[in-house]
Amino acid sequence: MNPSFDNTQNAFAYKSTSDLKKARFLFSVIQSPLVVSLATKLTPALMQSGLPINGLIRSTIFNQFVGGETLEESARVVKQLSAYQVQVILDYGVEAKEGEENFDLVTEHIIEAIEFSALQCNVPFVSVKITGVASMALLENLNDAPRLRSGIHDSEEDNAAWERVKERMHAICEVAAEKGVGVLIDAEETWIQDPIDRLAIELMSVYNKEKVVVYNTYQLYRHDRLRFLQMSHSIAKDKQFILGAKLVRGAYMEKERERAQKNGYASPIHENKEAVDTDFNKAVDYCLQNIDSIALLLASHNEHSNQLAMQTMQNKQIENKHPRIHFSQLYGMSDHITFNMAEAGYSVSKYLPFGPIKDVIPYLMRRAEENSSVNGQTGRELVLIRKELARRKMK
């Protein structure tokens, strides 16, 4: 039997009643797009002004969505989740600053996170944003380069910069392969995604021969990604490596549509949610049908998609803890999915960012915006929190 996502006792067992009340307040506030819009604009300025608002941010949105300011602080959350058989994907959640020194520093932080993960019993993955180790301008240039497909680019300066990016990523993957930790390469905007995809394939062809180290991320709100997933799998079979596929719906919908309209090209995004859901579920099914040569990380807050995947696994008699199948949700959200799946014996994790408060503000603002814009997400969180608080009150 598949687990019920309505079991709030399992979902919130790790949270005190005080923590649940704080979460109820936070989700009530971020239900309002107007409030979120104002907070998004004002918070960075207030942080820079020197006003004492760190405590307020830490006790609310930071504690809800972030593991801590350092790896050492995050270790407390990692240990807490481990007690409930929930694993962790670590993410250095600091928005990268431009410049080679900053890119090298981010690389060092990611390697530190990998080494930390190897010492834990429940941290199988570390997340990496290529924009943390490469400049946006470089990625845009490479994305637009007409001869990139043949491996030739006109600019020697760009070529040298791209070689340094590849060196950083190989350094990260070398340590990850040695330590037995997976590397999840995040998806980015369409206008910089092409070189990221090519780099991901290159890295997988090196590190995914015997085991799965590197995963690329496929945003299924793009109407070309199901086909690209299948193409990636074909390349993997030809080059004899295991495809690592992290499946998500996507994170840049409004930005992508606005840019397409402004620049007069066809939107890369599906026209409606139904089309996105269809492609996402087809992609999950494709990976499960080819689990002998694909490692799947299903990263979704959609209850139906998770239930469908579990049902397919049962139908195909795939064990719950299959080594190539992993589920994940963001820390601070969808605990009813994560903890009930963990209770049922599935491999499931929380995506856990860490970093100094002032540096993870952009990440926190995105979380708030996404919660206010995703239809029904915040409402569902509130219903479940209120249900659990009422259950505890009746005890």
250 Ramachandran zone, left/alpha/beta (phi>0; psi -120 to 50): left
DSSP 131: G
Mean pLDDT of 181-194: 96
Q: Which residues share a beta bridge with 269?
A: 222
Mean pLDDT of 316-323: 96
Whole-angstrom distance between the N-terminal and C-terminal Cα of the chain? 28
CA atoms lying within 13 Å on the CB side of residue 237: 11
Name the token pair of 269: 């995004």
pLDDT > 90: percent of the chain: 75
Please report the domains of the chain, with CATH numbers, ordered by start residue. Answer: 67-368 (3.20.20.220)
Location of structure tokens 């590397």? 183
CB 82 within 8 A of CB 352: no
Q: To the nearest whole number, what is the mean pLDDT of the chain?
A: 91
Contacts of 390 (CB under 8 A, 6+ apart): none
pTM passes above 0.75: yes
Strand 348-354 and strand 87-92: the pairing is parallel
Mean pLDDT of 76-80: 97
Mean pLDDT of 49-69: 82
pLDDT (0 to 100) of residue 60: 83
pLDDT (0 to 100) of residue 371: 57
CA distance 176 to 173: 5
| Phi, psi of 79, deg, nearest 5 | -65, -40
